[in-house]
Structure 1
């Protein structure tokens, strides 16, 4: 008799838990849908995309080069001054030239100082992150900000170099059909210093353009 009355196995014991799981899943799905619809859903992604170390080294080298180019441009320009004399219609006239006499040269010095400070700040912020072997930018917004700054400074530096070049060309060629001669003949040292400063300004513009390209590479990676 005991064999005829075998205990039937219990079934559907986990059904309540399955229902609970299904209900929880549906609730979570509904909540996510509501957050997405209301614009409050934030997807977190803590993974950091690492670029080759050569990229970081190139970034540091470019910032150092920008800083040095700015320093050379400022130092050479601010030390450009010379005394001499020139003969016009048989009269010897004294000449004294100084970089601060030209607004274009002052503009070039001001822009070079700003670019130098910008490059120094980037080095100060980047070096500790490189030592920790983390990304050189803290976020994409930070990268976009630096990209915009590099582009703006590159264009402004080009503008300053072009303005200074115009004044230097005028000193070299003088004014046709007028009594103003070539001032760079008696003021050779002054014009040479100004030319070197302008050359480093254009070189700095080129370096900033490369920095902007590296910023884009980081953003697209």
Structure 2
């Protein structure tokens, strides 16, 4: 008994041929590649900018002022390098910026060659792992720095430790802004990881 097999329809994966093999790429495949490339490059540029902003704002955080304590005016001076948590944030933000810069340079090189920015699934997994590591690191350093900043703003309850952010408001504002950029960079790296997963699921 002859049974007719149903016709097979091409899927997205079938329609999207790799450029490296020299095969033609269909219009849906080209569109998916273009959309992914644009989102990937955009995320890298914004993440690099956020990381650099976090570092620059933090390393310029320093201020001299006077603190009134029990009727005495005491000179106070604060600088970002006085706190290990702030050092940690600067180091991690700088490393995340270098990661984004390297990926952006590699992406630009592939785009100039008119090739897909991700050459293989192994490459995609490496990008995913790197983005995850730096996203968690940015979250960690932002959280550590936030704890110190909150202590500076509120002081310690049931003790004489004052609110240092009153006389050093400019310093605390810069630190808070740097932490905000760090958390924003964490969010962007997490979005990049999601984009890597989408690429892996589609290709």
| TM-score, length of structure 1 as denominator length | 0.77
Q: Matched residues in 2 for 1:95 and 1:112: separation?
A: 28
Deviation, 1:217, is: 1.1
Aligned to 2:3: none
**Residues 1:56 and 2:37 are matched in the alignment:** yes
Selected match of 1:205 from 183, 186, 201: 186
Q: Which runs of 5+ in 1 are unaligned?
A: 1-46
Deviation, 1:156, is: 0.7
Deviation, 1:52, is: 3.6
Selected match of 2:113 from 119, 124, 132: 132
Selected match of 1:75 from 53, 56, 80: 56
Report if the CA contact (8 A) 2:33-2:116 is conserved: no
Q: Which runs of 5+ in 2 are unaligned?
A: 1-16, 19-28
Q: How many equivalent pairs are there?
A: 176
Q: Matched residues in 2 for 1:90 and 1:124: separation?
A: 58
| CA-to-aligned-CA distance 1:61-104 (integer Å, 9 cap, x gap) | 10000100011000000000000010111111110000000000
More displaced, 53-62 or 183-192?
53-62
Aligned to 1:153: 134
Deviation, 1:138, is: 2.0
Q: Matched residues in 1 for 2:68 and 2:110: separation?
A: 61
- How do 1:101-140 residues align onto structure 2 when only pairs under 5 Å count? 101-140=82-121
| TM-score, length of structure 2 as denominator length | 0.84
**Residues 1:217 and 2:195 are matched in the alignment:** no
Report if the CA contact (8 A) 2:128-2:193 is conserved: yes
Aligned to 1:144: 125
Aligned to 2:68: 87
| CA-to-aligned-CA distance 1:35-65 (integer Å, 9 cap, x gap) | xxxxxxxxxxxx4265341221111010000
SS of the residue 1:142 aligns to: helix
SS of the residue 2:96 aligns to: helix
Q: Matched residues in 1 for 2:84 and 2:65: separation?
A: 22
Aligned to 2:26: none
Selected match of 2:77 from 96, 112, 126: 96
Structure 1 moving runs of 4+ over 2 Å: 49-52
Deviation, 1:131, is: 2.4
Q: What's the C-alpha RMSD, in Å, of the aligned pairs?
A: 1.3
- Whose Rg is larger? 1
| CA-to-aligned-CA distance 1:127-173 (integer Å, 9 cap, x gap) | 12122221111221111011001011101100000000000000000
Aligned to 2:167: 186
Q: Matched residues in 1 for 2:157 and 2:121: separation?
A: 54
